[in-house]
Structure 1
Amino acid sequence: MIDGQCDPDFAKVGTAFTANFRERGELGAAVAVYQHGRKVVDLWGGWADLEQTRPWQRNTIVCMMSVGKGMAALCVWILIDRGMIDPERPVAHYWPGFGQAGKEAITVATLLAGKAGLLYADHAPDGAGYDWAVMIDALERQEPEWVPGEKHGYHSATAGYLFGELVRRVDGRPIDQFLREEITGPLQVDYGYGASWADPDCIADIIPNPNSHTFVQTRDPNTKLGRAWRMRPPSDDHYNDERMRSGLLPSTNGHGNARSVARIYAALAEGGTLDDVRLIGRQTVDRMRTESWFGTCEMTDRIFRYGYGFFLNEPNMSPMGPNPRAFGHPGAGGSLGFADPENGIAFSYSPSLMCEGGGLGDRCRALSEAVYA
C-alpha cells in the first residue's frame, strides 16, 4: 500500500505515515521531507478515489487548497526581492483601480499581513469566482471591514485574487503563468493552479469530511466563511468540480503533491536557493516570516499566528515542529507545506480525505511531529 523512500534517520515519519492508514482513517496521501536541500522522505500510498479503484501513484496530485495562497504570496515576495515592489508603498501605486472605497492608503505590507480588511467580495455576483475580471472589479469596489491596519483576519477567499492581481499589474503575467515560469518550472515540480496541466488519471479526488469546520461553514451563507465563499459556483462537489480543476482560483485550487511543495519550501529553508535555482534572498525569507499578528482571526474566530502571506508555527492550528520561526501555509482538510530554515527542514503533506475540526488534524500533526522525533 505504501511506496517510496525514507532515510533511516527519518524512519519515524514512515512509521507515522503507516499508522495514519491503520489507526487514523487515512485514505490516500503523500508526505515528503527535505533536510538541508536533500530529499530524505518521499512516501505515498492508499487510494486516489473513495471507491478505492485507483491506487495512489508516485505522480498522483491532489487539490491542496489554501496551500496555494502561500504560493501566491511567494510570487509577490519574488517581485519584492527584485525591487519591483516596495512593500511600504500603497497597493494603488501599482494597481490604480484598487485605490477607492477606503483602500487608498493600504500598503503592500498591510495586504500581505492580512490587515487590509478585505475578507469579502460583496460586489461580485454569486458564483463569479472563476471570472477573474469580475472578481477584480468587485475587489476594487469593496470597502474594508475595518480601518486597514487596525485589525487582522485571514483573507480566506480573496488573498489569491489580491496577490495575483498585484503580480499581474507589476509583472504583466497572470499569476498561474508567473508561478509556472518563475517557481515550479525552474524547480521542476508538479504544482499549479487548476490541474489542466496534468494527466486527468493522476488527479486524486478530495473526500469532504462533514465534520470539517471549513467544509461546513463555507457552505452556509450565514457564516463569515459562507459570505466570503459565495462567489464559488454552486456544485454538489466543489473540490472535484471541473471548474476547480481548470480555472484560476489561487486562494484554493492549487494542485500538486507533497514532494513538489516540500521542494519549493526546501528552497526557502536554504535561504531562497535550491540546486542553483534562486527564488529570493535570505533577507527576504526573514522578512516574510516576521510576525505581523498573533491572536483571534476576524474571519475564522480561531487563534492564528501570521507573518506576511504565510502562517507562522503555532502548536494548535499550524504545527510545524519546535522552531517558532518555522513558517508555511496550511490547506483546508489538513494539507501543509512549511520551511524551518534554522534546522534546514522542509515538509509537506498532501491528503485526499479532509480532516475533522478547524485545524490540520491528527494525521498531519503526527507526521510533522515525527520529523523532529
Structure 2
Amino acid sequence: MEGFVERGFEAVRDAFAYAHDGDEGAAQLCIYRHGRTIVDLWTGQDAISGKSWDAESLVVLRSVSKGLTATCVHMLVERGQLELDAPIHDYWPEFAVGGKASITVADLLSHRAGLSSFDPESEIGAWDLLDWSACTTALVSMTPLWRPGTAFYYHPFTWGYLVGELIQRVTGKSVGDFLAAEIAEPLGLSLWIGLPECEEHRVVPGFTRKHLATPAEVEARLAGMGIDVGSRLVRATLATIATREEANEMLNTREGHAAEIPAANAIGNARSLARMYAAMIGEVDGIRLLTSAAVDRARQPQTDRLSHPAPLDVMPVATRFAYGYEITRPAGLLGDGSFGQVGTGGRISFAYPESGVAVGYTCTNMVGDEGVDDPRWLPWAEALRGALV
C-alpha cells in the first residue's frame, strides 16, 4: 500500500488495503473533496505483464469512458452548441433514415435510441471497432431495434460512435481531440481517448479469471425465461456478446489503445478520473468544467419510467441512467445524487455533489460482474461515508 490520506480518512486507507488483500492484480483509489485531494492510494502489482505499478500507471477504463464522453457533451450543451431535446439529424442529417428521425440527443445519451448493438447482419466484429467509418456507416443505415424513446437497454459499444460522431459534427473535432483540448490539457490529466504512442509504456493490461458466458449459454438462459431468441434484438445482443472475448484481447493491444472507441477504450488513472469529476462539481485550481445548473441537469434520471424493450422486457431493470451517466451504483456507494460510470471488471468514477466528493478507482484484475457492485468497492465506500459524517 502506497500513497496518502488526509487526517480523518485513515479508515479509507485501511479499507482499501483490506479490499485488495489477496487480489492478484493492482488498483488505484483517488478521492477529491471540494477541489483538493484527500485520498491518493495504490496497491498491488501486475501479475500478468510484470509491468511496474504506481499512481501514474494507466489502464483501459472500459465503460468509464462513457462518463468522459458524456462530460464533453454537457460542456457543448452548456455552450449552446447542442440541445438535449433536439433530434440528432439537426446535427447529423444522414442519420434520419430508417426510422431514426425522432431520435434525440437525450435518447442517445440515456440508452433509449434503439441501437444497443449493431445490426446482426452488419457483421461488425471486435476488430472492426477500430474502424470509425465502418461503425458509423453501419449505424446510419440501421433500423432501430425498438421504437426509440419507448424503452431503454444498455448500448455497450454503439453508444460511443453515436455520441462521438455527434460531437465531431458539432465541433469538427473527434472525441479524443475535444477531450484533450478542453478537459485533459487544462486540468493536467493523464486521460485519453486515442492514446499517443509516447504514453504506451505506462499502460498496464487488464486481465480476468472469470468465465465469460458464451453466446450459447446466454441464449439458453434467455430461452429458459421464455424470451424469443430469434428476435432481431436478441440476435443483435448475442452478436455483441460473441465479440466480448476478442474485444478484451483487442483492448490490450497498441491498436486498441490508439483508436477512438469512446464507449470503451479511454485510458487513464484514478488521479485523473477523480480530478475530472471534481472539476465538474466545483473548482480545481481555478478550473470548473460545468456550472451547478449543468450538473443538476446532467444527473436527472431518464429511464425510471421505462422498461427494457420486448422481448427482453421480462428481465428486471437493475440500472438507472441519467444523461450519459449511470446513477444506480454511484448512488448506492455514496448517496442519492451521485452520478458517474462503471466499467467492465470494476473500474468506476463518479461524483457526489452534495458532499463535494469525486472518486476515481481503477484495477487490473477484472473481477466485477455486470450490473452489480464490485465487492472491492464496498469496504472503502463504507469507510468514506463514515468519514464524511
TM-score by length of structure 1 reads: 0.90
Work out whether 1:362 is the aligned partner of 2:361. Answer: no
Q: Deviations over 1:155-200 (max 9, x none)?
A: 1111111110000000000111001101111111101124335533
* CA 218–163 in structure 1, closer or farther in 2 if over 3 Å, else same: farther
Residue identity over aligned pairs, in percent, reads 31
Q: Deviations over 1:58-102 (max 9, x none)?
A: 210111100001111111111111001111110000001111111
Structure 1: gaps of 5 or more residues: none
* CA 296–106 in structure 1, closer or farther in 2 if over 3 Å, else same: closer
Task: Give how far 1:249 is off.
Answer: 1.1
Structure 1 or 2, whichever has the larger Rg, is 2
* CA 251–322 in structure 1, closer or farther in 2 if over 3 Å, else same: closer
**Counterpart position of 1:48:** 46
Work out whether 1:61 is the aligned partner of 2:58. Answer: yes
Task: Pick from 270, 281, 286 the counterpart of residue 276 of structure 1.
Answer: 286
* CA 360–55 in structure 1, closer or farther in 2 if over 3 Å, else same: farther
Work out whether 1:22 is the aligned partner of 2:21. Answer: yes
* CA 236–92 in structure 1, closer or farther in 2 if over 3 Å, else same: closer
Task: Give how far 1:344 is off.
Answer: 0.5
Write the distance in 1 (CA, Å) between the matches of 2:334 and 2:250.
35
Structure 2: gaps of 5 or more residues: 220-233
Write the distance in 1 (CA, Å) between the matches of 2:274 and 2:214.
29
Aligned-partner residue type, residue 264 of structure 2: T
Task: Give how far 1:10 is off.
Answer: 1.3
**Counterpart position of 1:31:** 29
* CA 47–233 in structure 1, closer or farther in 2 if over 3 Å, else same: closer
**Counterpart position of 1:171:** 171
Write the distance in 1 (CA, Å) between the matches of 2:206 and 2:176.
21
Cα contact 1:46–1:55 (8 A) shared by 2? no
Task: Pick from 321, 333, 338 the counterpart of residue 326 of structure 1.
Answer: 338
Q: Deviations over 1:207-260 (max 9, x none)?
A: 12324xxx4468989576542366779468233123222211111111111110
Task: Pick from 325, 328, 331 the counterpart of residue 310 of structure 1.
Answer: 325
**Counterpart position of 2:303:** 293
Aligned-partner residue type, residue 384 of structure 2: V
Matches within 5 A, 1:226-241: 226-228=238-240, 234=246, 237-241=249-253
Write the distance in 2 (CA, Å) between the matches of 1:69 and 1:203.
19
SS at 1:304 equivalent: coil
**Counterpart position of 2:222:** none
SS at 1:180 equivalent: helix
**Counterpart position of 1:153:** 153
Write the distance in 2 (CA, Å) between the matches of 1:326 and 1:107.
24
Cα contact 2:30–2:361 (8 A) shared by 1? yes
Q: Deviations over 1:103-122 (max 9, x none)?
A: 00111112112111111222
Aligned-partner residue type, residue 81 of structure 2: M
Aligned-partner residue type, residue 76 of structure 1: V
* CA 226–105 in structure 1, closer or farther in 2 if over 3 Å, else same: same
**Counterpart position of 1:115:** 112
More deviation, 120-129/330-339: 120-129
* CA 303–169 in structure 1, closer or farther in 2 if over 3 Å, else same: same
Write the distance in 2 (CA, Å) between the matches of 1:153 and 1:234.
23
Cα contact 2:61–2:362 (8 A) shared by 1? yes
Write the distance in 1 (CA, Å) between the matches of 2:331 and 2:286.
30
Aligned residues: 362
Cα contact 1:333–1:354 (8 A) shared by 2? yes
Cα contact 1:124–1:134 (8 A) shared by 2? no
Write the distance in 2 (CA, Å) between the matches of 1:248 and 1:218.
26
Aligned-partner residue type, residue 237 of structure 1: E
Task: Pick from 73, 82, 91 the counterpart of residue 76 of structure 1.
Answer: 73
Cα contact 2:344–2:368 (8 A) shared by 1? no
| Larger strand proportion of the pair | 1
* CA 356–78 in structure 1, closer or farther in 2 if over 3 Å, else same: closer
Task: Give how far 1:124 is off.
Answer: 5.2
CA-based RMSD of the aligned residues comes to 2.4
* CA 92–249 in structure 1, closer or farther in 2 if over 3 Å, else same: same
Write the distance in 2 (CA, Å) between the matches of 1:293 and 1:149.
10
Cα contact 1:124–1:135 (8 A) shared by 2? no
More deviation, 277-286/342-351: 277-286
Q: Deviations over 1:34-61 (max 9, x none)?
A: 011110111112113426x333122101
Work out whether 1:204 is the aligned partner of 2:214. Answer: no
**Counterpart position of 2:190:** 190
More deviation, 105-114/303-312: 105-114
More deviation, 122-131/199-208: 122-131
TM-score by length of structure 2 reads: 0.86
SS at 1:261 equivalent: helix
Write the distance in 1 (CA, Å) between the matches of 2:182 and 2:247.
33
Q: Deviations over 1:314-356 (max 9, x none)?
A: 3xx4455342111000000001000011110111110000114
* CA 217–368 in structure 1, closer or farther in 2 if over 3 Å, else same: farther
Work out whether 1:128 is the aligned partner of 2:128. Answer: yes
* CA 218–261 in structure 1, closer or farther in 2 if over 3 Å, else same: farther
